[in-house]
Structure 1
Amino acid sequence: MDWSRYWRSPDRPLEAMHAHFERHVYHRHSHEAYSFGVTEDGYQAFRCRGGAHTSAAGMVIAFNPDDPHDGRPADELGFTYRIVHIGPELVSGVLADMAGRAAGLPLFDFPIVDDPVLARSLRGLHAALLGGATALRRDELLTAAVGAMVDRAATRRPGTAYSGGHVERARRRLDEAYLDDIGADALAEAAGCSRFALYRGFRRAYGMGPGDYQRQLRLRAARRLLARGDAIGDVAARTGFADQSHLTRWFVRCYGMTPGRFQRAG
Structure 2
Amino acid sequence: MHAHFERHVYHRHSHETYSFGVTEDGYQAFRCRGDAHTSAAGMVIAFNPDDPHDGHAADELGFTYRMVHIGPELVSGVLADMAGRPAGLPLFASPVVSDPVLARNLRGLHAALLGDAPALRRDELLTATVGAMVDRAATRRPGTGPAGGFVERARRRLEEAYLDDIGAAELADAAGCSRFALYRGFRRAYGMGPSDYQRQLRLRAARRLLAGGGAIGDVAARTGFADQSHLTRWFVRCYGMTPGRFQRAG
Task: Give the structure-2-normalised TM-score.
Answer: 0.56
Change (3 A) 1:63 1:220: farther
| Counterpart Cα distance in 1 of 2:55 and 2:245 | 20
137 and 46 in structure 1: CA distance in 2 versus 1, 3 angstrom threshold: same
- Alpha-carbon displacement from aligned partner over 1:13-58 (angstroms, at most 9, x marks no partner): xxxx000001111010000000000000000000001110100000
Per the TM alignment, residue 220 of structure 1 is displaced from its structure 2 partner at its CA by 47
User: C-alpha displacement at 1:156, in angstroms?
Assistant: 3.6
Structure 1 contact 29–254 (Cα < 8 Å) conserved: no
Secondary structure at 1:165 match in 2: coil
Please list the CA deviations of residues 155-202 of structure 1 after superposition, one character each: whole Å capped at 9, or x if unmatched: 148999999999999999999999999999999999999999999999
Which whole-Å CA distance do the structure 2 matches of 1:55 and 1:124 have between them? Answer: 19
After superposition, the Cα gap between the structure-2 partners of 1:218 and 1:97, relative to the gap in structure 1 and judged at 3 Å, is closer
The answer to whether the 8 Å contact 1:46/1:71 transfers is yes
Q: Which moved more, 1:68-77 or 1:199-208?
A: 199-208
Partners of 2:139 and 2:166 lie apart in 1 by 38
Quote the Cα distance in structure 2 between the aligned partners of 1:247 and 1:154: 40
Larger RCO: 1 or 2 (CA < 8 Å, sep 6+): 1
Deviation at 1:101, TM superposition (A): 1.1
> Conserved in 2, the CA contact under 8 Å of 1:47 and 1:70?
yes
Shift of 1:138: 0.5
Unaligned runs of 5+ in 1: 1-16
Q: Is the alpha carbon distance of 1:90 and 1:214 closer, same or farther for their aligned partners in structure 2, counting shifts above 3 Å?
A: same
- Partners of 1:136 and 1:204 lie apart in 2 by 18
8 A contact 1:37–1:81 mirrored in 2:
yes
Cα 1:21/1:96, change in 2 over 3 Å: same
Could you list the per-position Cα deviations for residues 72-125 of structure 1 after superposition, in whole angstroms to 9, with x for gaps in the alignment? 001111000000000000000011112211111000000100000110011110
How high is the sequence identity, in percent, across the aligned residues?
90
Q: Note if contact 2:147-2:181 (Cα within 8 Å) is conserved in structure 1.
A: no
Q: Larger deviation: 121-130 or 164-173? A: 164-173
1:51 and 1:236, CA in 2 relative to 1: closer, same or farther beyond 3 A?
Answer: farther
Q: CA–CA distance in 1 between the matches of 2:8 and 2:246?
A: 17
Q: 1:112-155, CA deviations, whole angstroms, 9 ceiling, x for partnerless residues?
A: 00000110011110010011211111100000000000000001
Q: Secondary structure at the match of 2:165?
A: coil
Q: Is the 8 A contact 1:106 1:150 kept in 2?
A: yes
Quick one: distance in 1 between partners of 2:133 and 2:39? 17
SS of the equivalent of 1:40 reads: strand
Structure-2 separation of matches of 1:69 and 1:256: 49
Between the aligned partners of 2:184 and 2:121, the Cα distance in structure 1 is 46
State whether residues 150 and 175 of structure 2, in contact with CA within 8 Å, keep that contact through their aligned partners in structure 1. Answer: yes
Structure 1 126/187 Cα, relative in aligned 2: closer, same or farther at 3 Å?
closer
Find the aligned partners of 1:248 and 1:71 in 2 and give their Cα distance.
Answer: 43
The structure 1 segments of at least 4 consecutive aligned residues displaced by more than 3 Å after TM superposition are 156-266
Tell whether the 8 Å contact from 1:49 to 1:207 is kept in structure 2 after alignment: no
User: What TM-score results when the alignment is normalised by the length of structure 1?
Assistant: 0.53
Segments of structure 2 that go 5 or more residues without pairing to the other structure are none
Q: Tell which deviates more after alignment, 236-245 or 68-77.
A: 236-245
- 1 CA distance for matches of 2:36 and 2:239? 20
Query: Is contact 2:66-2:110 (8 Å) kept?
Result: yes
Relative to structure 1, the CA distance from residue 88 to residue 258 in structure 2 (aligned partners, 3 Å threshold; closer, same or farther) is farther
Q: Is the 8 A contact 1:26 1:256 kept in 2?
A: no
Whether the aligned pair in 2 keeps the contact of 1:29 and 1:216 (CA below 8 Å) is no
Q: 2:65 & 2:26 partners in 1: Cα distance?
A: 9
Contact 1:26–1:253 at 8 Å: present in 2 too? no
When residues 114 and 95 of structure 1 are mapped into structure 2, their CA distance, relative to the original with a 3 A threshold, is: same
How much is the aligned-residue C-alpha RMSD, in angstroms? 16.5
Q: Figure out how many residues of one structure are paired with residues of the other and give that number.
A: 250
Preserved CA contact (<8 Å) 1:104 1:157: no
